[in-house]
Structure 1
Amino acid sequence: MKNKVHEFKNHLMSGISYVLPVIIAGSLVVAVAKIVGFLFGETDLNAFADSGGMLHYAYLFEQVGWTAIGLLNIILGAYIAHSISGKPGLAAGLVGGALASSTNAGFLGAVLAGFFAGWLTNWVKNNVKLEGSFASAVPLIILPLITVGATGILMALILGQPLGWLNTTLLEWITDMTQSSTNNVVLAAILGGMIAFDMGGPVNKAAWMAGNALLISGVYLPAIMVNAAICVPPLGYGLATLVKKNNFSNELKESGKGSLIMGIIGITEGAIPFTLKSPLKLIPLNVVAGAAGSATAILLGAHDVMPPVGGVYGFFSVGSGWAYVIGILVGALIIAFGSNALVNFNDEKQVASQAEVVKSEDDIELDFDTL
């Protein structure tokens, strides 16, 4: 059972790893187009779809970004299937992801379609055999016919409508939550804590995908919450090496420089070398800091004006960008002072002890996947 869960997680993470650069690139393109619009005093570039001039070109550039963002479900479905069954699963995965978008089944539909396409492809490869001159027809004709056809039936006729309803209901519920300042802070704390929990692992990616799947539907605030929390752990440990230099080995002092840069850019994996020194103490600290940082940003008034750009420098894409930056700093400072108070990063005996404790815990699994 454990192996099956591990396989499932790996296939899902593989699909998400292919989605990441596309969503990031699309968000950046949209943000640049929006900034051009703001410089001309315009907030809605759709009004210039049929006109000429600079703002028309800004509108066209914005559409490039939205096209990239709109590929999320297609890429996710395709590369989950690819992770399971290789190239033969791509066709059905692509179709399943496209149908997840067209039926409004969304992120969940793309995930289910990808797994179904991959598993069905493996079944056909292992069980449908032809002899002689007909053998070459299996990979070229029979396999894609069965896999694409079955995935299409599953998504268009069976799962599309109920998943579309579920997706719409969840979207409405989260949209209603974002209308309440109290609910916003709670949601920010939850997403921020998830982001900081395993820094690139499945919990982190689940929160990231939640924020960016909503972004496709025009709900930007959860993505702001996620982006703020992503910066907190690496920036916090980078600052920790400056706050109390003598508490760190020379190796970690050097890692701290890289961690500062990764914090500014928005790459949580920069915190991993520090967290692994004493995970049972530092993972809870990371979660508290991520939750506090994200919640503080929202509490102070960070809000959505365009698809948000990640990293500390992404403040320009956030309404009340100063609140976004302060939230990140609050979370980072919790780690900077808290980690120095909890752990002696020069104490190799403590490091070894903590590492052994984590290895001996069967129910703790940290999978730090890099971008």
Structure 2
Amino acid sequence: MKITELLNIDAIDLQPHVSSKQEAIEHMVDLLDQTGCLNDKEKYKESVLQREQQSTTGIGDGVAIPHGQSEGVAQAALGAMVVKEGLDFQALDGQPTYLFFMIAAPKEAGGVHLQALAKLSTLLMDESFRQALIQAPSKEAFKQLIDEKENEKTEVKQQVHPDVLAVTACPTGIAHTFMAAEALNQAGEKLNISIKVETNGQEGVKNGLTQDDIDHCKAIIVAADKKVEMARFEGENVIQVPVKDGISKAEELVKKAMNQEGVIYHHGQNEKEKINPIRIFYKHLMNGVSHALPFAVAGGVLYGVLHLCQNALANSTLLSVLAMIYQLLMLMIIPVLSGYIADSIADRPAMVSGFMGGLIVCQGMAVNTIPTWNGTFVPSLFVGIIAGFIAGYFSLLLKKLLSYLPSCLKGIEASLLHPVISTGVVMLVMIFLNPYLYYVHNGILNLVYQFEINTPTKILFGAVLGMMMAIDMGGPINKTAYVFGIGMIINHDYTTMAAIMAGGMVPPLVIALTATLKKNKWSGRRKEALMNYINGISFISEGAIPFMQENPQTVLTACCIGAAITGGLSMYFNCGIASPHGGLFLIWMVDYPLQYLISILAGTVIGSLLLLVLKSKKENS
């Protein structure tokens, strides 16, 4: 589909008489209507206005692309308009808009309007092209410029492979993954370097790198905090960094990749991570957490349902079945966690022993006692993590030892010898270590319970957890608190996770509230800042990162204090939640929901006011 195929010459106006955003929209709807592409002009205009209510389509740089998908559209079409003196279209950058395109798409047209929107956005990144359109002497010249630009783009795509490839991935696959991808794409555009970014998000791999891409690229950036498929990069120049660097250091990474400043990757020999044990530990742990998290969330929601219906539990077959499913889901968390930690360390051969190590932890098996799990024994996330690392590193050692086997036995190495030997050894080791590891586990639990018994220490404990969630917004400290909270859920302590989740909601809410209180607070990025209301109630702390980078010390101080207040109040009110994700969408599951909302509101308001004061002092100093 080409832009010029959608753009009718009669739907172009280079000298419109409009003086407001409303008039501009109505005039462009009229332009489209006179081409016969609309069967209900008012219904289509309503869809355009509804889209504008969500957020402005004035994308900045003097361009606006209002659009709508409606039953009032008979066939997909495009209109265009130039206002040479500029018009206030409430653009994201706060500047006047000169160039307007309006997209009309039928209700059942799939993503045709999104395709057109993506193509237009790409073409209009070129400032000289935008200026040429604004100065076009006639409708025919206007359309001809677009046709030439489209052909130019098509020709380049057919001849050139991306110079730089990238992969982004974070443990939850929600925010960091896509923020890093966007930052890398923007860096490539700014530096005029062709780039393709694969995302390993919650819905799986998107925009996957092909072998042809890999064979023709200069270098590959892997910005990931969990395991991604690396064997395909054998012999390529690779730069491996945490996913947060993909967000904050995107331009630097793209430049390094273009200059081939990475290392030649050999699968199983990651030189950079060998000298950074904390980084490699974190990566393996997060790979386990990312796979175990859906079990914890599903189990938590089921617990909420059962808790609400506890009076009917004994008399309901359905609720009894749900209770059994809940127990199975919670039981699966630790084997999945340990299995995927082992998989991250030593690939697929380690998964069997990792899963078995986790199951032994869940069963509480020890050298002198082998009990049957009956719902009263409480498994330990801490011990499960250790089981995963033992299984993974023993599998690495075993792989090295089995490499000396004669070639005639290589066929049974992966299918028989490795899983049998690794599983047997890990089982014996964990049965022996379990009692000692549980002493440590019980010591940690007793310490936590001591904190929670006394009000002053309980408030302090909640404040520390809340601050940990804000201090690096999705980084290692944040994830340490988060994993700890999941472990406490498994041990039926739900107040800890409530404080953690509440603290994690505060940073984006602080950003959004400051944008509400002071309209010019974020220098033309107010709309983006206001979107953090959604990030906040969704428990996506990462939404605050772009704003924190503008002024790290001030923003971080305000967010950390706000999150600490929220975490402390949540613990003080004994709020609890059994799910490790969901934010305020799961408020119905929270113990003392009103107090929970008060805690979040208090931290958000105090953090926002503090941010405004600190920002003002810094600007006046």
TM over 0.5: yes
1:261 aligned onto 2:534: yes
Q: Which amino acid aligns with 2:533?
A: L
1:97 aligned onto 2:358: yes
Q: Is the 8 A contact 2:507 2:559 kept in 1?
A: yes
Structure 1 residues 33, 200: CA separation in 2 closer, same or farther (over 3 Å shift)? same
Q: Which amino acid aligns with 2:567?
A: S
Structure 1 residues 62, 90: CA separation in 2 closer, same or farther (over 3 Å shift)? same
| 1:105 shift after superposition | 6.4
Question: For residues 24-76 of structure 1, what are the alpha-carbon distances to aligned partners after superposition, in whole Å with 9 as ceiling and x for unaligned?
Answer: 12111221232234xxxx2x83xx1xx4xxx3322322332332222221111
Q: Which protein is richer in strand relative to its size? A: 2
Look up the SS of the partner of 2:531 in the other structure: helix
1:15 aligned onto 2:291: no
Q: Which amino acid aligns with 1:152?
A: M
The residue aligned with 2:301 is: 28
1:295 aligned onto 2:568: yes
Q: Which amino acid aligns with 2:602?
A: V
| 1:182 shift after superposition | 2.2
The residue aligned with 1:243 is: 517
Q: What are the residue-to-residue correspondences of 1:53-72 with 2, within 5 Å?
A: 55-72=316-333
Question: For residues 276-332 of structure 1, what are the alpha-carbon distances to aligned partners after superposition, in whole Å with 9 as ceiling and x for unaligned?
Answer: 222233223322111111112333x24348668741243332332111101111111
Q: Which protein is richer in helix relative to its size? A: 1
Structure 1 residues 258, 127: CA separation in 2 closer, same or farther (over 3 Å shift)? farther
| 1:2 shift after superposition | 4.9
Structure 1 residues 8, 270: CA separation in 2 closer, same or farther (over 3 Å shift)? same
Distance 2:379 2:443 in 1: 11
Q: What are the residue-to-residue correspondences of 1:153-192 with 2, within 5 Å?
A: 153-157=428-432, 159-192=433-466
Structure 1 residues 124, 336: CA separation in 2 closer, same or farther (over 3 Å shift)? same
Q: Is the 8 A contact 1:30 1:63 kept in 2?
A: no
Q: Which amino acid aligns with 1:315?
A: I
1:135 aligned onto 2:410: yes
| Larger CA deviation: 87-96 vs 177-186 | 177-186
The residue aligned with 1:333 is: 605
Q: Is the 8 A contact 1:308 1:317 kept in 2?
A: no
Q: Which amino acid aligns with 1:255?
A: E
Q: Is the 8 A contact 2:306 2:319 kept in 1?
A: yes
The residue aligned with 1:360 is: none
Greater relative contact order (Cα < 8 A, sep 6+): 1
Q: What are the residue-to-residue correspondences of 1:195-210 with 2, within 5 Å?
A: 195-210=469-484
Look up the SS of the partner of 1:249 in the other structure: coil
Distance 1:318 1:95 in 2: 34
Look up the SS of the partner of 2:526 in the other structure: helix
The residue aligned with 1:351 is: none
Distance 1:108 1:304 in 2: 21
Q: Is the 8 A contact 1:220 1:308 kept in 2?
A: no
| 1:274 shift after superposition | 1.4
The residue aligned with 2:339 is: 78
Structure 1 residues 99, 235: CA separation in 2 closer, same or farther (over 3 Å shift)? same
Distance 2:281 2:526 in 1: 37
Q: Which amino acid aligns with 2:614?
A: L
| Larger CA deviation: 289-298 vs 101-110 | 101-110
Q: TM-score, normalised by structure 1?
A: 0.82
Q: Is the 8 A contact 2:338 2:388 kept in 1?
A: yes
Structure 1 residues 89, 343: CA separation in 2 closer, same or farther (over 3 Å shift)? farther
Look up the SS of the partner of 2:392 in the other structure: helix
The residue aligned with 1:364 is: none
Look up the SS of the partner of 2:550 in the other structure: coil
Taking only the aligned residue pairs, the percentage that are identical comes to 26
Distance 1:24 1:304 in 2: 14
Question: For residues 66-111 of structure 1, what are the alpha-carbon distances to aligned partners after superposition, in whole Å with 9 as ceiling and x for unaligned?
Answer: 3222222111111111111111111111111112222266122111
The residue aligned with 2:553 is: 280
Look up the SS of the partner of 2:520 in the other structure: helix
Distance 2:494 2:307 in 1: 14
Q: Is the 8 A contact 1:233 1:271 kept in 2?
A: yes
The residue aligned with 1:126 is: 400
Distance 1:284 1:102 in 2: 44
The residue aligned with 1:322 is: 594
Structure 1 residues 260, 320: CA separation in 2 closer, same or farther (over 3 Å shift)? same
Distance 2:550 2:363 in 1: 47
Distance 2:326 2:538 in 1: 20
| 1:342 shift after superposition | 3.1
The gaps in structure 2 that reach 5 residues or longer are 1-273, 365-377
1:108 aligned onto 2:382: yes
Distance 2:419 2:580 in 1: 39
The residue aligned with 1:368 is: none
| 1:195 shift after superposition | 1.2
Aligned residues: 330
The residue aligned with 1:356 is: none
> Larger radius of gyration, structure 1 or 2?
2
- Out of 489, 506, 510, the residue aligned to residue 215 of structure 1 is 489
1:147 aligned onto 2:419: no
Question: For residues 174-232 of structure 1, what are the alpha-carbon distances to aligned partners after superposition, in whole Å with 9 as ceiling and x for unaligned?
Answer: 23432322222111111111111111112111111212211112221111111211211
Question: For residues 110-149 of structure 1, what are the alpha-carbon distances to aligned partners after superposition, in whole Å with 9 as ceiling and x for unaligned?
Answer: 1111112112212222331322331111111111122112
Structure 1 residues 318, 180: CA separation in 2 closer, same or farther (over 3 Å shift)? farther
Look up the SS of the partner of 1:246 in the other structure: coil
Distance 1:142 1:173 in 2: 43
Q: TM-score, normalised by structure 2?
A: 0.50
Q: Is the 8 A contact 2:379 2:491 kept in 1?
A: no
Q: Is the 8 A contact 2:548 2:555 kept in 1?
A: yes
